Amino acid sequence: MKITDQVWQFAEPLVRENGCTLWDVEYVREGGEWYLRLYIDKEGGVDIDDCEKVSRAVDPVLDEKDPIPESYRFEVCSAGLERVLKRPSDFERFLGAAVLVKLYQPKNGRKEFPGRLTGYEDGAVTVEMNGKSFTFEKNEVALVRLRVEF
């Protein structure tokens, strides 16, 4: 089982006990160091106190379960306004929202498509942009993230 899946299993109930939802678990190497990050969310937004409470709840369990053999930095962060959508439930929750679809390869001369999320089925993402509908297959999509409009 992947490290992120293991951490999700024991962290998710602890995050919920602290009034938040677990949005994502990330284990990445940056600048020569490993980082384990929990991204949390809650109605009305996450603040520094939420991050601290979740960190204090999860940290001792991380020490006890010890899912990561090498040294790493542990961080708890807000999922953010421009969060990446990953799971089918993310796409369902944000149907109609402003998103940015980034592609691996250019299509119609561009790799980025800002628009409204109008559909998601079997990994295919549909957005409406300037009154036109575009559907991108799962293997074309590098990422889809929420987009803040001002």
pLDDT tens, residue by residue, 61-96? 999 999 898 999 999 999 998 999 999 999 999 999
Can you tell me the distance from the alpha carbon of 77 to that of 149, in angstroms, rounded to the nearest whole number?
22
Identify the CATH number of the domain in which residue 134 sits. 2.30.30.100
Q: Report the SS3 class of residue 51.
A: helix
- 88 and 72 in a common domain: no
Q: Are 37 and 75 in contact (CB under 8 A)?
A: yes
In which residue are the tokens 């938040």 written? Answer: 20
For 115-130, what is the mean pLDDT?
Answer: 95
- 70 and 16 in a common domain: yes
- 97 and 133 in a common domain: yes
Instruction: Return the pLDDT at 117.
Output: 97
Domain containing 107: what range?
Answer: 84-146
Q: Is the CA virtual torsion 149, 124, 26, 89 positive or negative?
A: positive
Instruction: Return the pLDDT at 108.
Output: 86
Q: Which of 28, 52, 78 is the last residue of a domain?
A: 78
Query: Number of structural domains, the chain?
Result: 2
pLDDT above 70: percentage of residues in the chain? 100
The residue type of 16 is: R
- 73 and 16 in a common domain: yes
- 74 and 8 in a common domain: yes
- 70 and 8 in a common domain: yes
Q: Which of 23, 43, 78 is the last residue of a domain?
A: 78
- 64 and 96 in a common domain: no
100-133: b (≥16 Cβ within 10 Å) or e: bbeeeeeeeeeeebebbbbebeeeebbbeeeeee
| Angle formed at CA 84 by CA 83 and CA 87, multiple of 5 degrees | 125
Instruction: Return the pLDDT at 149.
Output: 81
- 97 and 51 in a common domain: no
Residues 6 or more apart in contact with residue 117 via CB below 8 angstroms: 85, 91, 94, 95, 96, 97, 98, 99, 125, 126, 127, 144
Q: How confident is the model at residue 150 (pLDDT cuts 50, 70, 90)?
A: confident
- 44 and 66 in a common domain: yes
pLDDT tens, residue by residue, 30-55? 999 999 999 999 999 999 999 999 99
